[in-house]
């Protein structure tokens, strides 16, 4: 069969142009491979721990004679080191086979049933190799019952763990958490098909924000009137000339280029993506194949060509989430008695609910209810307009030092930031992080200029760089610049330093 070609689709006519485009695709493939290595290493380490857990349980069951009916020998009769050596070999083989089956790749690469089948197949293959090694090595000192129990428990544990993780991730996707916002370039049949595919299969983790028309870059005969009739005008967010603005305004993570596109347009989009820090995928039209040199990744059933990849510290984000869950759980447990006393004090001090819930804007413009202990009178929101002329902050923020709406207990709670303790519940649900930009009100976001939306690219936090460094600074520009600096320079070590400094701010009572 003849070598397939993408030059017609991309309207790239010369070999030199195709080589240039392929180099972009190859660079994106390399970036994606580097990004996935950390995640794969983490899952491989977790698989190794799962095997160790299974072996420990199997050995314990043999010691308490649960497996004695199957094997009358001691579990590790003569040489325990031999069992550990063979177990290490089994782990290495299991990891190699699992990686060959793609089990450490993106979750969207295959369905849950196929993942379960490949998991069992990997365990079975590694088990056969281990059984052969034990047979030819004539290791009579190792209990066969322990070996069989280890292999069976490993398969069960791996299947259960992967199923639970997939189910938890699907639920988060359904709740709009951790999904990737997509902008589709092209309103033809390919754009319509990828939109329908991503909306129908929610567990892929993509949210289609809308389309960008590329009509000005196409010849009249390349337009697809039928597909355009299926797309409502409200879904077409703009043209190629304002892609940068659309990316910021709708918190886009990936651009999908569909349909016939000019080579120059693709290059400009790649350049913009590099500047904006987003990913770009090319979705080939329905041709009989692709250039063999191009890296291909499937999104569901659609083959795509990643032509730009923004580096995402996936492992770091996973560790940050684990730290959030650990700290928020510990904080809620340790602070439970104090929270009960605070609730009682609020109830005795003034009428109204104990907790105050306000609609806040979270990551990528999502809304959530942020909880705090009530520190103002019950009708404080309706009285806000009466005090706007007393605002001591410039720009969007509102702050007045002697706000008459604040209760006596509220002043104490604000001084030591105790009113924010219920926000650890928001951290547990995944709407907030311990460290991040302050969650703004919808009224504040409506006054943001386009560059200000950058602070909504990450989860809001209970504390952050602005809270510990410039909380009393009235400048809105300083507020934005510190949040932007946090996003650009994020690391776990920076989070730890901010949390450490937060303790000093709380103890010094400068939170009011």
CA dihedral 17, 21, 22, 27 (to 10 degrees): 140
* Alpha-carbon gap, residue 460 to 440, rounded angstroms: 9
SS3 (DSSP) at 83:
helix
DSSP symbol at 176: T
Which of 71, 285, 270 shows the shortest CA–CA distance to 190?
A: 285
3-state percent breakdown (helix, strand, coil) of the chain, nearest 5: 60, 10, 30
**Which secondary structure element, helix H or strand E, spans residue 378, and what is its range?**
none
User: Cα separations (Å) of 262 from 40, 60, 214, 253, 284?
Assistant: 36, 65, 9, 22, 13
The tokens for 503 are 């303790």
Considering the four listed CATH numbers 3.10.20.440, 3.40.50.970, 3.40.50.10440, 3.40.50.720, the one that applies to the domain covering 179-312 is: 3.40.50.720
User: Could you read off the pLDDT tens digit of each residue along the chain, which spans 512 residues?
Assistant: 333 333 333 333 334 443 444 444 444 444 444 455 667 788 888 999 999 999 888 887 767 665 554 554 544 444 567 778 888 888 899 999 888 888 887 776 677 788 888 999 989 988 888 888 877 766 666 777 778 888 899 999 999 999 998 888 888 887 777 788 999 888 877 788 788 878 777 777 888 888 888 765 444 334 444 455 567 788 888 888 888 888 888 888 888 888 666 777 777 788 888 888 888 887 765 443 433 344 556 666 666 666 556 666 777 788 898 899 999 999 999 999 999 999 999 999 888 899 998 899 998 888 899 999 998 888 776 666 666 656 555 656 666 666 778 888 988 898 888 999 999 999 999 999 999 998 988 888 888 888 888 888 889 999 988 888 766 665 777 778 888 888 888 888 889 989 988 888 787 766 55
User: Cα separations (Å) of 249 from 202, 205, 230?
Assistant: 23, 20, 24
Annotate 162-190 with b (16+ C-beta within 10 A) or e (fewer): beeebeebbeebeeebebbbbbbbbbbbb
Residue 311 CB contacts under 8 Å (≥ 6 apart), including other chains = 31, 34, 35
* Alpha-carbon gap, residue 104 to 44, rounded angstroms: 8
pTM value?
0.56
* Alpha-carbon gap, residue 431 to 329, rounded angstroms: 15
Q: What is the chain's length? A: 512
Annotate 32-58 with b (16+ C-beta within 10 A) or e (fewer): beebeeebbeebbeebeebbbebbeeb
Phi, psi of 367 (to 5 degrees): -105, 145
Contact 190, 286 (CB under 8 A): yes
Which of 298, 287, 286, 297 shows the shortest CA–CA distance to 193?
A: 286
Kindly tell me the sign of the dihedral angle through the C-alpha atoms of 317, 420, 173, 188. negative
* Alpha-carbon gap, residue 369 to 355, rounded angstroms: 11
Domain residue ranges of the chain, discontinuous segments joined by +: 39-174, 179-312, 315-508
């Amino acid at each position: 069969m003849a070598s397939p070609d993408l030059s017609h689709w991309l309207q790239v006519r010369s070999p030199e142009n195709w080589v240039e485009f392929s180099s972009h695709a190859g660079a994106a493939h390399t970036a994606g491979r580097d990004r996935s290595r950390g995640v794969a290493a983490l899952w491989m380490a977790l698989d190794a721990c799962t095997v160790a857990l299974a072996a420990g349980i199997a050995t314990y069951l043999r010691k308490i004679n649960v497996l004695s009916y199957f094997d009358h020998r001691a579990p590790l009769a003569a040489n325990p080191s031999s069992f550990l050596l063979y177990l290490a070999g089994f782990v290495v083989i299991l990891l190699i086979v699992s990686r060959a089956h793609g089990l450490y790749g993106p979750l969207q690469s295959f369905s849950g049933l196929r993942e379960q089948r490949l998991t069992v197949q990997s365990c079975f293959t590694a088990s056969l190799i281990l059984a052969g090694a034990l047979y030819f090595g004539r290791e009579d000192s190792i209990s066969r019952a322990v070996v069989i129990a280890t292999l069976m428990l490993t398969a069960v544990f791996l299947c259960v763990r992967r199923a639970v993780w997939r189910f938890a991730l699907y639920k988060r996707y359904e709740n709009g958490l951790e999904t990737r916002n997509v902008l589709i370039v092209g309103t033809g049949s390919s754009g319509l098909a990828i939109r329908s595919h991503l909306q129908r299969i929610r567990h892929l983790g993509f949210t289609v924000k809308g389309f960008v028309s590329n009509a000005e870059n196409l010849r009249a005969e390349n337009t697809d009137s039928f597909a355009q009739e299926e797309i409502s005008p409200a879904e077409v967010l703009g043209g190629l000339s304002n892609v940068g603005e659309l990316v910021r305004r709708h918190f886009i993570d990936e651009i999908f280029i569909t349909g016939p596109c000019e080579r120059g347009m693709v290059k400009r989009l790649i350049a913009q993506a590099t500047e904006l820090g987003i990913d770009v995928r090319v979705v080939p039209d329905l041709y009989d194949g692709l250039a063999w040199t191009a890296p291909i990744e499937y999104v569901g059933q659609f083959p795509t060509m990643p032509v730009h990849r923004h580096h995402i510290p996936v492992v770091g984000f996973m560790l940050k989430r684990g730290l959030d869950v650990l700290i928020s759980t510990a904080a809620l447990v340790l602070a439970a008695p104090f929270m009960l006393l605070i609730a009682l004090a609020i109830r005795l001090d003034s009428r109204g609910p104990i907790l105050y819930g306000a609609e806040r804007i979270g990551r990528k413009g999502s809304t959530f209810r942020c909880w705090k202990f009530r520190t103002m009178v019950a009708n404080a929101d309706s009285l806000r307009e009466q005090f706007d002329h007393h605002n001591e902050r410039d720009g969007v923020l509102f702050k007045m030092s002697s706000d008459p709406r604040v209760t006596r207990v509220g002043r104490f709670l604000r001084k030591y930031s105790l009113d924010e303790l219920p926000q650890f519940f928001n951290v547990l649900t995944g709407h907030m992080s311990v460290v991040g930009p302050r969650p703004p009100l919808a009224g504040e976001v409506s006054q943001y200029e386009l560059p200000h939306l950058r602070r909504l690219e990450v989860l809001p936090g209970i504390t952050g760089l602005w809270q510990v460094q410039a909380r009393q600074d009235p400048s809105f520009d300083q507020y934005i610049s510190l949040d932007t600096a946090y996003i650009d320079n994020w690391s776990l070590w920076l989070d730890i330093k901010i949390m450490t400094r937060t303790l000093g701010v709380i103890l010094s009572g400068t939170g009011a």
